[in-house]
């Protein structure tokens, strides 16, 4: 049977099952998690965006000083899929960034092989809760600095030092809008997870 054009090997060869893995994308409010999942997903991503209202401003979680044009926020999760290396399928789960939604993280990380912690150099402290969470639960992670237009560029090692990220954790500079940099981040995470937990 001829392969369908654009189909993955596991979609046309029924004797091959894809290796499916779950990846979590976490970080502070407005750091680019929804953008990252949308930029790389080969399916229409599921997004649970809700309009922001003045009521959320009173919670202290929705600080728009660094992202004044932001009008929506994730209230449950983002979901997307990307196929890498012929038969490796990554299912991406983006977490909501605000503290009032952190109770969902335990469910979102169950079964994940690793996480991407997105950071914004204008608000580095916003990624500390995600770093602490993945350190405490032992889930392999990488730190990806999402570079925003008009902001100062920093070297990965400068960010590592500012966040006191251990030397064995990869730190990358990327752009969540650009598919190629997101794919590179995912490949780095998969390689790191295999190094940490090869089984």
Query: What span, in angstroms and rounded, lies between the C-alpha atoms of 143 and 176?
Result: 13
Q: CB of 138 within 8 A of CB of 112?
A: no
For residue range 93-131, what is the model confidence (pLDDT) as tens digits?
998 865 666 667 888 889 999 999 999 999 999 999 999
What is the structure's pLDDT at 47? 64
What is the structure's pLDDT at 149? 86
In this model, does residue 177 exceed pLDDT 60?
yes
pTM: 0.77
What is the structure's pLDDT at 27? 92
State the pLDDT confidence band at 55, using cuts at 50, 70 and 90: very low
What is the structure's pLDDT at 105? 81
Percent of the chain with pLDDT over 70: 72
Contacts of 121 (CB under 8 A, 6+ apart): 145, 147, 151, 152, 154, 159
Beta strands in the chain (DSSP E): 19-27, 46-51, 72-84, 88-94, 112-119, 141-146, 171-174
Burial status of residue 103 (CB atoms within 10 A of its CB: 0-12, 13-18, 19 or more): exposed
In this model, does residue 20 exceed pLDDT 50?
yes
In this model, does residue 165 exceed pLDDT 50?
yes
Burial status of residue 85 (CB atoms within 10 A of its CB: 0-12, 13-18, 19 or more): exposed
Report the candidate in 88, 83, 96 with the shortest Cα–Cα distance to residue 179: 83
CB atoms under 10 Å from CB of 76, counted, come to 16
Terminal C-alpha separation, the chain: 35
Contacts of 144 (CB under 8 A, 6+ apart): 116, 117, 118, 119, 171, 172, 173, 174, 176, 185
Query: What span, in angstroms and rounded, lies between the C-alpha atoms of 78 and 110?
Result: 15
Report the candidate in 117, 25, 4, 128 with the shortest Cα–Cα distance to residue 78: 25
Taking residues 77-96, what's their average pLDDT? Answer: 88
In this model, does residue 86 exceed pLDDT 80?
no
Which residues make beta-bridge pairs with 90?
21, 82
CA angle 182, 186, 187 (to 5 degrees): 115
Query: What span, in angstroms and rounded, lies between the C-alpha atoms of 127 and 91?
Result: 22
For residue range 64-78, what is the model confidence (pLDDT) as tens digits?
455 545 445 444 578
């Amino acid at each position: 049977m001829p392969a369908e054009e654009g189909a993955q090997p596991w979609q046309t060869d029924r004797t091959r099952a894809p290796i499916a893995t779950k990846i979590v994308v976490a970080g502070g409010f407005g750091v680019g998690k929804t953008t990252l999942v949308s930029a790389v997903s080969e399916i229409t991503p599921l997004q649970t965006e809700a309009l922001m209202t003045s009521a959320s401003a009173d919670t202290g979680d929705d600080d728009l000083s660094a992202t004044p044009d932001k009008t929506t926020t994730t209230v449950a999760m983002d979901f997307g899929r990307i196929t890498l290396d012929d038969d490796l399928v990554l299912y991406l789960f983006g977490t909501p960034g605000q503290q009032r939604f952190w109770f969902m993280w335990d469910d979102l990380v169950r079964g994940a092989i690793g996480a991407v912690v997105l950071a914004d150099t204008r608000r580095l402290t916003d990624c500390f809760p995600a770093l602490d969470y993945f350190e405490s639960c032992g889930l392999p992670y990488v730190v990806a600095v999402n570079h925003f237009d008009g902001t100062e560029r920093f070297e990965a090692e400068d960010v590592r030092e500012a966040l006191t990220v251990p030397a064995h954790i990869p730190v990358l500079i990327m752009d969540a809008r650009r598919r190629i940099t997101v794919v590179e981040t995912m490949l780095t995470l998969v390689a790191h997870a295999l190094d940490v937990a090869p089984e």
